[in-house]
Amino acid sequence: MIKKKNTEKKIVRLGYCRVSTDDRQEMSLENKIEMMRQQNCNHIYSEHGSGINDKRVEFQKMLKHIKELAGDENNIVYLIVFKNDRLSRKLRTLVNTIEDLMELGINYISLIDHIDTSSIWGGMFFQILSSFNEYEVLNTIERVKIGLDKAKENIRKTFYY
């Protein structure tokens, strides 16, 4: 008997919620978790901590889970966040993470920022965000180069006068 390959797609929605200590005026973690439940998330990762720290425990667990899910071609996976800055406060980390998700075939949704990379508009918006990140990287490299050139010139002036 020939076994049929299971071609039924399974939709998996992962939610990620984070609040930091200075989020007193924003929604509580519980409210954000409830928002993820309303999005029918199968699993919700939540934590307290700074979005500048890339080594957040739940953030790392979520990334590992996503890679596991991406390995199954029958999964259609969505990562849903309340707002972009909840995923990361560092633009470079945010852009790199979303690019990694897209390479894995994972869809990214930011509820407040109205980004959905599974749509043409969301993909375009993300590309614009990526362009700003690339500009910032190049600008930083240029500033460092200028700073090094000035430092070299100051050393020459100091030792050759």
Q: Which residues are catalytic?
A: 20
Separation of CA 22 from chain center: 20
CA distances for 8 relative to 2, 11, 65, 73, 123, angstroms: 18, 10, 21, 10, 26
CA distances for 43 relative to 12, 61, 76, 103, angstroms: 8, 11, 14, 21
Contact between 50 and 86 under an 8 Å Cβ cutoff? The reply is no
Cα–Cα distance, 79 to 25 (Å, whole number): 25
Map residue 12 onto helix, strand or coil. strand
Map residue 62 onto helix, strand or coil. helix
Instruction: Show Cβ contacts of residue 88 under 8 Å, excluding neighbours closer than 6 positions.
Output: 51, 52, 54, 94, 97
Tokens of 99: 């690019």
